[in-house]
Each structure stands twice: as C-alpha cells, then as structure tokens.
Structure 1
Amino acid sequence: MPSFIPPEKDSNPFSRPQTPVEKHKVAFVGIGAMGYFMARNLASSQGIGNHPLLVWNRSPAKAEALLEELGSTKIRVAASLAEVATESDIIITNLANDAVVTSVYEEMISHLVNHASSKSKLFVETSTIYPALAGQLEEMLDPISYATLITAPVFGAPVAADKAQLVIVTSGDHRSKTEIAHLLVPAVGRKIVDLGGNLEKAPTLKLIGNSIILGFNASMAQSLTLAEKASIGAESALDLVKELFPTPIIMNYADKMTHDKFDGSKGFSIDGGIKDAQHIRQLTSAHGSPMPIIDIVHQQMITAKALHNANKQANVPTHDVLDMTAIIAASRIAAGLDAFDSKKHGTSQVVRPSTSFTE
C-alpha cells in the first residue's frame, strides 16, 4: 500500500461542498497495469464510505487478485457490465484503447436503456482516447436522461498510480467534476487540472502530454545508443541524465532503456505507445500542426514490435508484452547493436567518469 503523501497546495480546483455529500456506490471498470492501483487506492480511501468498490475486468483473474489483496469489505467483483451499470452511481473506466472503450460503453448503455434507474449515473472516462470519441460517448448516452459523462485522463506511470501520485485532467459538466474531485484527490492522484466544459479538451491535453513523453523517449533512445557506440557506455549517459534531469519519470524511462527492462506488463506497453502515436498523428493532421518527431516515434515503435515478434517466432526468450521503452531497439539495430540485450554490446572500451557532472 502507498504511504500517504500530502497533496500539494491548490491540487484541487473544486471547492469541497459545505454540506455533507451522500456516499456513492462506485464501480471501477478496467483492472489493468494502471487500473489495478487506481482501483486499489480508491477502495482503500474514505471517499466511498462503507460501500465496497465494485470492480469488473474482461479477464476476471485481475479483479480476483484485487479482491484477494483487500478483502470483501473493500472489493466486490461484478459478474457483468450489466451489474456495474445497474448497481453503481459513479462508474470509472480505465481501458486499453478506443475500441474497448466503445464496446464497454455500448454494453452498459444497452442495459440501461432497457432497465431504467431512479438514480443518476456519472461516467468518468480516464482512458487515453482520441478526443472525438468523448463526443461520441456523450451521444451514445443521450437516450439516458439521468446519465452524465466527464473525461478525466491521468498522467503517470503505474509506479505513480501505485503511490497515488497521478495528475488528473478533467473536462465536462462542472457539477459532476465537483462530485468526483474530492473522491479522486488525494485517493488516486495528487492534482487535478481542469479544462472546462468541453469533453474533448482533457483527452486532447492527454495526447499532447504523451507526445512530449514519446518524443523524449525517442531522443533518449538515440542518445543512449550513441553512448554505447562511442565507447562511453549507456551507464555513463544515465549518470548524466540523473544529474541534469533529476525527475522520476525521466530517470525511470532512461533506467529502463539502459538496463533492458522491457517487461510491458509492469509499465506502458508498446502497443499503447503505438496507439497513442497514431492518435497524436491524427490530431496534428486535424489541426494542421506538424509534429515530425511523432512520425519517427511511430516508425521506431513498430520496428521494435516487429523485432519482438520475430524473437517470439524464433522461440527466443522474451517478454509476453513489450514495454514502450523498447523503442531503443530500433536505434540499436540501426547502429549495428543487439536490439534487446545490451550485454552483447561489449564494454571493453567503455570509460566511466570518476567524478560527478557539474556545470
């Protein structure tokens, strides 16, 4: 369980209601690499009162693992999405891609259309989606007069989700955002950034933020590869990164690349990275704002995935899911190095500095 870290000043732009708010029945859909920690921290918080968090996942094993960790007083596993839609007042979704998001919402909406509820329903979409999908989801919910949607994508790797240090970006109905603001901070995240009433704004900022992360990783991959080829060594370059950019997210990505930590089940999968790059490219085209670095990132991640698939077919031991930081495989191959095993690069000429880096 995460240790409590006090939220920063002005971490929540929504004032806490002066009158007590009824505790809602909350559901969490999508118990993946991020969703597991988000759901766990939410279930352990005081925000949902005495109601156990209702969870659902396409693969029941992950939901059952959460139940085993927290117990039946904190977690209840839903048998179906129909049960989630019927029994919950607030439904938080954190899913892999747009197709899965659409499918899950279609199933819940279909049930609600045929089984009207006397209570309002608030859907909180935290996945990384193409902005136009938010408008499509709102249209899908139109027949259900008592249902409202807000978008609330999150920034942070699974390690940040584990520690409840996510940054949550919201857009949509103000009253609905107020309802969930103090449910999510500090239980799930450390800060909310609100972008107003347009549902598409939060998913747009999420993609812009991910473009920065993806661009950084492409640049880092090339720099670490050059350090290997120049007989400096990736470890020395990593030391420099730690000196110049001592922030957890940057150091984490650089460390993964340097030490071949390419297990995508514990981080940001390369499939997710490819999906985000496709969304960003579509967004830049729609707004006439070129971003060539993302074209390169997209190509390099596809290359890394192809190399990974080739290893699988050749029965070379590898991870089931590849991490996004394996983008470095493309740079390594282009430089004549092994794609995934830096131990094969050779270290005989590598020189590590004996002093710290200073300006």
Structure 2
Amino acid sequence: MGHPTTPARIAAFIGLGAMGTPMAAQLARHLNGQGRATLVWNRTPGKAEAHAAEYGSVAASLEDLDSADFIFSCLPTSAEVDTCIDRLLSRLRPGTVWIDCTSGRPAAAREQAARLAAAGVGFLDAPVSGGPAGARAGTLAVMVGGDEATFARALPLLDTFGGTVLRVGPVGSGFAVKAVNNVLMGLHLLSVAEGLASLKKQGVDLAPALTVLNAGSGASFSSQNKISQQVFTRRFSPMFRLGLLAKDAGIALENVQEVQASAPLLAQAAMLLRAAQATVGGDVDHTEAVRLVEALNNVELS
C-alpha cells in the first residue's frame, strides 16, 4: 500500500463468488471512507442485495455500471467477461478502466482490450492468488497486465485487496502468470500425493513423514497447507473448484504451445488434472485431485 491516491467517483464490481465477494467488500470499505460508492452486480440479484446489506455496497443492474470510473470483473472464465462487455460496451464512457480479475486467457485479454480501446476504455488483466482468506485480509497477490499509465490509475483500488500488486507486462501477462501459478500449484499437490502414496506402500507413517518433508527442501504450499488440513483429515472443504484448476492448467498449456516452449512437466500436470476432474468431478475442491493418485496406488492418504 502507500501509493498516491487517484480519485474515483464510482467503482463497480461484477461477480460475487468466493473471491469476488470479499474483494468487492474491501473496495466498498475503501470508497465508503471517501464518500464514494461501489456498485455490485451478480447474475443472481440476491447476492448483490446481500452484499449491499452486509458491506455497504450498492446493488445495481449491469447496465447501471456504465456510470463507474473503474469496473472490476471476477468471473469463472473469459467467456462470461465477454458477455458482460457485449452488454456494456456501447454505454461506457471514454476514460473508464475495466479491470478483469478472472483467471482468464491471455488471448482473450488482448481481444477484450482492443475492443474496449476502440471505445476509449482502458483494460487491465489482474488475476489474484491467495484464496478467500487472502481477499478478506487484503493480502492477495495481484499480477497485472496492461500499460503503465492505466496500471498507475488503478493501483490505489487494487491495493484495497492486494498485499503484493505488481505489473508483470503488457495486456495478457497477468493471465499468463496466473495460469503458470495454478498449474504449478496442481503439480505440487499431485507430486506430494504421489510421494506420500509411495511412502505409505512402504509402511511409512505419513504424519511424521510429512512433518519432516515440510521441515526440509521438499516443502511446498500444498504440502504445508493442504495435505494435513484437508487430505489427511478427509475434510475437503470446497474453496477452489477442481474444474477451475483444470481450466487454468489448460490455459497454461495453451500458452506453452503458442510460444513453442518445452514444458513436459506442466503438460503432464495439466493432463493429470483433467483426468482427476473426469474421475472425481469438477465441482469438488481442487485438493480432491489426490483421489486420482490414491486410486492409481490403491491407498488412502490418511
């Protein structure tokens, strides 16, 4: 934080899911303190009304968001963002900035930015990492693609929910970094599960083995935060859907193929996450991807 402020008359937030709800809440708290409004819209109007009642935002129709200086979107895929842009494009004022926090496709970001630029509207792709807890604490990692001037204008608002907010390159770069972040998360989760499955088949006690691994060089976010809390306990709390992780891994693989990079490990992780989705379903928490490893090894990681 600690960046110079840029006055914003009104901000708007599209998409009040697990991440969008606390992110929009942080934005509303910030702007309410300045006597400014945060409009919120969700496909289910009741969610917007509940958000307004709890956090002091203003529930609005999608078309009413054309009055905002900054429009945030946080939706499942780039396709849903396209739909919202289609409905709003002819109504947006020049100088508006659209900030897409969806885990989207870099190619889609570039297409969306070009469409908006023709109407005088700026665009940033600004996906986030850190989960709902990070959004509630205002400590998300925000990776931003776009030009420097637009980034500077939006930074005070991005700072309301971000602890680390960095421009990583031109439009599309934020989505590219997020895709790599998530495929790495999936790779780490599956590799830890494979290692533990092999240990269990050797008669090793998994709980102390994991403690030792986490104190050593084999540790990762997944091993330190997901395995003991969700896998060992079998309490797979739904926070980030496996289908979305598989989608993001697929985006990472598309990007790798587009630039003809060599990334066999990322490709294997993307394939395994798709297989896990087909095996256990896309609506479960992403940590349930370990069930694929368990089935292949005929063990339970508990």
Q: TM-score, normalised by structure 2?
A: 0.89
- C-alpha displacement of 1:204: 1.6
Runs of 4+ in 1 over 4 A off after TM superposition: 245-250
**More helix per residue:** 2
1:224 matched residue in structure 2 = 196
Deviations 1:114-140 (CA, angstroms, capped at 9, x unpaired): x464x6311011111111111100122
- C-alpha displacement of 1:225: 2.1
Deviations 1:158-214 (CA, angstroms, capped at 9, x unpaired): 2222211111112223222112212222x2011211224x21222222222223222
Alignment counterpart, residue 104 of structure 1, candidates 84, 105, 125: 84
Q: TM-score, normalised by structure 1?
A: 0.76
Q: Is the Cα contact below 8 Å between 2:280 and 2:289 reproduced in 1?
A: no
Question: SS where residue 16 of structure 1 aligns?
Answer: coil
Question: SS where residue 195 of structure 1 aligns?
Answer: strand
Question: SS where residue 226 of structure 2 aligns?
Answer: helix
For structure 2, list consecutive stretches of 5 or more residues without a partner in the other structure: none
1:40 equivalenced with 2:2 (yes/no): no
1:94 equivalenced with 2:94 (yes/no): no
Question: SS where residue 237 of structure 1 aligns?
Answer: helix
Question: SS where residue 128 of structure 1 aligns?
Answer: coil
Provide the rounded CA distance (Å) in 2 between the counterparts of 1:122 and 1:82.
Answer: 16
Question: SS where residue 123 of structure 2 aligns?
Answer: strand
CA RMSD of aligned residues (A): 2.5
1:252 equivalenced with 2:225 (yes/no): yes
2:290 matched residue in structure 1 = 328
- C-alpha displacement of 1:247: 7.2
Deviations 1:62-98 (CA, angstroms, capped at 9, x unpaired): 323322322xxx21111x32111x2211001111112
- C-alpha displacement of 1:53: 1.5
Alignment counterpart, residue 77 of structure 1, candidates 59, 80, 84: 59
- C-alpha displacement of 1:258: 2.5
Provide the rounded CA distance (Å) in 2 between the counterparts of 1:250 and 1:69.
Answer: 35
Q: Is the Cα contact below 8 Å between 2:186 and 2:269 reproduced in 1?
A: yes
Query: What percentage of aligned pairs have identical amino acids?
Result: 22
Provide the rounded CA distance (Å) in 1 between the counterparts of 2:299 and 2:220.
Answer: 28
Provide the rounded CA distance (Å) in 2 between the counterparts of 1:92 and 1:211.
Answer: 24
Distance change in 2, residues 1:136/1:64 (3 Å): same
Provide the rounded CA distance (Å) in 1 between the counterparts of 2:209 and 2:28.
Answer: 41
1:347 matched residue in structure 2 = none
Deviations 1:287-335 (CA, angstroms, capped at 9, x unpaired): 12232223332333333333335xxxxxxxxxx9311111111110001
Q: Is the Cα contact below 8 Å between 1:30 and 1:58 reproduced in 2?
A: yes
Question: SS where residue 276 of structure 1 aligns?
Answer: helix
Q: Is the Cα contact below 8 Å between 2:183 and 2:245 reproduced in 1?
A: no
1:314 matched residue in structure 2 = none
1:262 matched residue in structure 2 = 236
Q: Aligned runs of 1:169-180 on 2, under 5 Å?
A: 169-180=143-154
Residue identity in the other structure for 1:324: H
Provide the rounded CA distance (Å) in 1 between the counterparts of 2:221 and 2:266.
Answer: 23
Distance change in 2, residues 1:172/1:34 (3 Å): same
Alignment counterpart, residue 283 of structure 1, candidates 239, 255, 266: 255
Q: Aligned runs of 1:276-315 on 2, under 5 Å?
A: 276-309=248-281
2:119 matched residue in structure 1 = 144
2:100 matched residue in structure 1 = 125
Provide the rounded CA distance (Å) in 2 between the counterparts of 1:132 and 1:47.
Answer: 35
Residue identity in the other structure for 1:16: P
For structure 1, list consecutive stretches of 5 or more residues without a partner in the other structure: 1-6, 310-319, 344-359
Question: SS where residue 168 of structure 1 aligns?
Answer: strand
Distance change in 2, residues 1:214/1:305 (3 Å): closer
